[in-house]
Structure 1
């Protein structure tokens, strides 16, 4: 699972484990809206099996935290079911009732987008710092090379070399991008400056032949 999703998943598991279930609990997870944006994010980044495993682990953590090693000291719950749905009131992220947890797909999408922006901004900030070192001809041993990395926002040298590629497309690109960042981050900045999305630019960069 991508790190972006951790905060939101922890919130869901807190709801699940607040039930203080008995030891033999059947945890089930169902995505009822796999084709909505939030449902798609859930399947791609979390998934049914991972979420179910984390519900089990979180329950064990809660039992230890509240010193309930004996099943007799816990609420007698045989099953806990989590559903991803698209019909919750917009005021709610999730609702728990009768050992069922309904989670809003819209909330998953919103939290995912927010987490992505924070993650991308962090990698971009690291990359700009290393871009300065790159242009100053100070490349220490151990740096990853041009074309390395899985994502443009991996940060440090990976992002620095990608920014250097973008700088080659338009002189002053990094300065213009840096100026925009004073008001926050948007992936649209790349398109505004270079006329291509950041994903298109990353694909072009990765496809450059290298020895």
Structure 2
């Protein structure tokens, strides 16, 4: 091999590595946290017991956990979120947390209501749920709201940051898309029928949601899956 050819290959390799590094930098998520109400009881408790740095570190961990559970191993599979913002603020609708765009809003009053000594645990549990809303697919808004809430709770349950004693039990609920714990437990059941079902369902919902996805993945219509699920726990 000539010296010129060797140098050309080395230069090409260097440019490729630089390009990959630049691409990773472009697609990396930046995390910002702002306490907009530091003088309120909840805002003050956030600063004293949780803190900005803990929140940033926690959201990074949650982000990686979500990608792992969703089996999204490449940037092409993931929702592109350049900047994820967390605002500690006042929510006037009674919610503990909400999302809008790529921003998570956490209620300062909610933080104030956390049991003594449990602020970080309760906050982290809430962040698993809300961060999932940022990164999950929802069929561009066509998925039932109860399903997206159920997927968010499903991630929270997988993380173990929840209270099993007070949480929804398998088989509870009246509709598969009732949301939160009811739907999360149903999704767990579906995982038992097909390993990785919830991740596969989420990834199918990138563009649109269809009930038919259940039959495609499980070989049974959605109504039948729900009926069999309810029957399994009928006498418990």
TM-score by length of 1: 0.42
Q: Considering only CA atoms, is the larger Rg found in Structure 1 or Structure 2?
A: 1
TM-score of the pair, normalised by structure 2:
0.38
